[in-house]
Amino acid sequence: MSSQDVLQNASTLASYNVLLQVTFRVLTFLMNAFTLRFVSKELIGVVNVRLMLLYSTLVFLSREAFRRACLSGSSGPAHNWRQTVNLLWLTLPLGVVWASILVCVWLWLLEVPDPQDIPHYAPAVWLFALAALQELLVEPLWVLAQAHMFVRLKVVAESLAMVAKCLLTVVLVVLAPEWGLYIFSAAQLVYTGFLVLCYGIYFARFLGSEEANKKGFPINCVGDLLPHSATGERAVDWTLARLTWSFFKQSFLKQLLTEGERYVMTFLNVLSFGEQGVYDIVNNLGSMVARFVFLPIEDSFYVFFAKVLQRGRAVQSQKQEDVSMAAEVLECLLRLVVVMGLVVMVFGYAYSHLALDVYGGSLLSSGAGPVLLRCYSCYVLMLAVNGVTECFVFAAMSQEEVDQYNVVMLALSVSFLLLSYVLTWWAGAVGFILANCLNMGLRILHSLVYIQRYFQAGPWAPLRGLLPSPALLLALALSAVVTALSEGAFCCDGGWLRRLAHMAVGALCLLAVLITTLLTETQLVHFVRTQLRPRPRDKST
């Protein structure tokens, strides 16, 4: 597969992932807005912070390192998929070990919610851990699908799973609200069950088919998906296993950074369950763009960079055409996420109060909610830049550099936890966002230094993507002033007509920014039109 084909596949994967994440967030957005009318904010805090932290920690620590290692160089002719599949099955026993440890911590070391207010906590912990283990069953299939760009499979499987989860949650919240945490536990089990079912059915039909043989798919039958080894061959590739271990040490630290505020809330009790619920809702609203646009781009283009670049080798010793393409793509991605991040920051500041009032009423729009969302709007810009820069850095680093970066991640993790505790004690929930901003800034700085050194031997300068055109910056600055004045004049206690007037002002300003982008960012517009727009694919994808 040529580099151009890899780029097209990665671009298609990113665009479909964006559509998938948009669907996810819209469904979750509507479900949360509905359930807020039926359950308490304390229950929301336990589910979305305490239990989902258990689930995400177990899944991330069990599979993230395997994913990153097994997708590196997965398109090479010498790649042994039998050994890769064997290695991927280790995620399940590793998950069982993590589940045993984490369940004990969640049940016996953490503060247990009042059973009168939040019943069925202990069974819910076990059920969320079971849901995580159930999702790990699909890991070998997921990596195979990702490496071979089976885009539609992921979209269909995860969309069906999310729809099933949302429908079950809404029905049970209305019909049996007294079930409490059982509702959300059952919904999570249904979600992971649908994932396993969809991937299993697809590969059972695809393997051994004429289409699979035509494409030279490396797995011939369902039995080849189970752990096994050929005579005289090692069960796993030890080079890949060592790379996995390096990523495992890094993934532990990355998870600590990614979910740091939830760990602080959970283990240090700096906020009540109700305050945790409000913070989590605001956090989900503020991170919608990061989750359904930036994260899919990061995941998809990590595959592109990992396939096009040779890990740990200087640019002079690689194909210059591939390096040039990687530099150009990196510049366009940086420009794209910076522009989108600036738009979120500008309009998020003026429309935070209105968004929370419409979404959750006075429960969210009163108190610290609007301030939290405004701060998060600024943080989104840093999330955007960090996602793309680390996406490139992790794909280009050698194993030795990955190990060295683990030390940096350890220092960042410790500093972040200390900053979170101190700033939360000083500024409440806003302190979490401030600590995240400081920590993210240090991570971005490290990545920028690496990228600058990586390309310094050639004519490429992908970091130019961090600077939008002056005309666009001016349009954004004017929009920030106009929308701030509009909020003071129209929002948010004067009825719906005044709110609509505020929304109309924002729509006109956003239109002006979009027109300016189209006129001044021609390279970016061309990249989006040619690479990030979904294009028809064959049935296997």
pLDDT tens for residues 239-257? Answer: 888 888 888 877 777 777 7
Residue 74 has phi, psi (to 5 degrees) of: -70, -10
| pLDDT above 80 (res 529) | yes
Least confident window among 21-25, 198-202, 348-352, 455-459: 21-25
pLDDT of residue 8: 64
pLDDT, greater one: 537 or 371 = 371
Q: CA 67 → CA 96, 99, 142, 366, 438, distances in Å?
A: 18, 19, 9, 42, 28
Q: CA 136 → CA 55, 59, 157, 250, distances in Å?
A: 11, 7, 15, 20
pLDDT digits (tens, 9 = 90+) for 356-410: 877 776 667 777 778 888 888 889 889 889 989 988 888 888 878 887 887 887 7
Least confident window among 114-118, 281-285, 432-436: 281-285
What mean pLDDT is predicted for residues 198-219?
Answer: 84
Give the confidence band of 4 by pLDDT, cuts at 50, 70, 90.
Answer: low
Task: Answer for the pair 12, 534: CB distance below 8 angstroms, yes or no.
Answer: yes
User: What does the buried/exposed string (b/e) look like for 252-272 if buried means 16 or more CB atoms within 10 Å of the residue's CB?
Assistant: bbbbbbebbbbbbbbeeebbe
CA distance 457 to 222: 47
pLDDT of residue 449: 92
Token pair for residue 327?
């530099």
Least confident window among 43-52, 100-109, 318-327, 530-539: 530-539
pLDDT of residue 541: 41
pLDDT of residue 338: 93
pLDDT of residue 14: 60
Q: CA 343 → CA 13, 337, 380, distances in Å?
A: 24, 10, 10
Nearest 10 degrees: Cα torsion 150, 152, 155, 160? -120
Give the confidence band of 183 by pLDDT, cuts at 50, 70, 90.
Answer: very high
Give the confidence band of 19 by pLDDT, cuts at 50, 70, 90.
Answer: low
pLDDT of residue 74: 52
Q: Where are the domains of the chain?
A: 39-248
- Please provide the size of the chain in residues: 541
- 536: CB partners within 8 A, 6+ apart: none
Structure-token match 């220092």, residue found: 411
Which residue type, as a one-letter code, is found at position 418? L
| pLDDT above 60 (res 486) | yes
Average pLDDT, the chain: 83
Give the confidence band of 138 by pLDDT, cuts at 50, 70, 90.
Answer: very high
| pLDDT above 80 (res 50) | yes
pLDDT of residue 218: 78
Give the confidence band of 537 by pLDDT, cuts at 50, 70, 90.
Answer: very low
Global confidence as pTM: 0.69
Q: What is the SS3 assignment for 191-211?
A: HHHHHHHHHHHHHHHHCCCHH
CA distance 241 to 235: 11
CA distance 429 to 442: 21
What mean pLDDT is predicted for residues 420-424?
Answer: 84
